Amino acid sequence: MSQSGVSSPGEMPIGAVVLAGEEILGEAYTQEQALGRRIVHADLLAMEQADAALGFSRTQEPLTLAVSLEPCLMCLGAAVTLGVKRVWFALESPNDGAVDLLTRWHPPVEQAFFAKPVEVRGGLHHERAQALFAAYASGTGPLGMAWAQGALRGSGCRFMHRLRVAGFGRDREGTLQAWAGPT
Ligand SMILES: [Zn+2]
């Protein structure tokens, strides 16, 4: 994905797509800077589109959420409620990533319609994600990315260490190519 194809200026390079097989039910980029709001995460917006498209109907293929940054608690909660079976993400989020919490969460009652995703995988397309986030953190990002800039300068390079994945193109074909399957 080209740098210019990622979200809008000043926005973190976070994109998400919801798939049923190869059918795209939702795709979105984070809108926090564009809208000046807090909970307009790429993954949540993409899942809202999928929810609107599906209603109470079920898909033959299991739902997959693919996102360039590890989902937060809110978005993983939405994924459980929507019935997402697979969560793929590019790089771990040292800020609000909640995958570890999800692994320790157990629904009080096991229900087919309210269950944890069966597969949660990070580290997809790591080189592209690394390049995108590194460029963002070192360049035009808002002050909110200071945590990343500091980490990039640090000798430990904690952020860089965590940059283990990817992104995808704004164009539909590129999105499919990038997320058609784990690399
Ligand atoms: Zn989120």
Q: How far is the CA of 46 from the centre of ligand 1 (A)?
A: 11
Taking the centre of ligand 1 as the mean of its atom positions, its distance from the CA of residue 162, in whole angstroms, is: 18
152 CA to centre of ligand 1 in angstroms: 23
**pLDDT tens readout for residues 55-91:** 999 899 999 999 999 999 999 999 999 999 999 999 9
pLDDT attached to residue 180: 35
Which neighbouring-strand residues pair with 86? Answer: 64, 119
pLDDT confidence tier of residue 33, bands split at 50, 70 and 90? confident
**Cα 111 to ligand 1 centroid, rounded to whole Å:** 24
Least confident of 5-9, 47-51, 97-101, 140-144: 140-144
Task: Say which residue, 113 or 119, is predicted with more confidence.
Answer: 119
Task: Over range 31-48, report the average pLDDT.
Answer: 94
Looking at residue 94, its pLDDT comes to 85
Q: What is the mean pLDDT of residues 98-122?
A: 87
Query: Looking at the predicted structure, is the pLDDT value of residue 17 above 70?
Result: yes
Ligand 1 center–CA 41 separation, angstroms: 5
What span, in angstroms and rounded, lies between the C-alpha atoms of 130 and 134? 6
Centre of ligand 1 from the C-alpha of residue 74, in Å: 5
**63-69: strand order across its sheet:** 23-29, 15-20, 63-69, 84-91, 119-121
Say whether pLDDT at 13 is over 70: yes
Distance from residue 136's CA to the centre of ligand 1 (Å): 19
| Sequence-distant (≥ 6) Cβ neighbours of residue 146 within 8 angstroms | none
The pLDDT, as a whole number, for residue 79 is: 97
CA of 30 to the centre of ligand 1 (A): 9
More confident residue, 78 or 167: 78
48 C-alpha to ligand 1 centroid (Å) = 12
18 pLDDT above the threshold of 90: yes
**What is the DSSP pairing of strand 15-20 with strand 23-29?**
antiparallel
Query: pLDDT, tens digit, for every residue of 116-154?
Result: 999 999 988 878 887 888 877 776 555 444 444 443 443
Give yes or no for residue 20 having a pLDDT over 60: yes
Radius of gyration for the alpha carbons in the chain, expressed in angstroms and rounded: 16
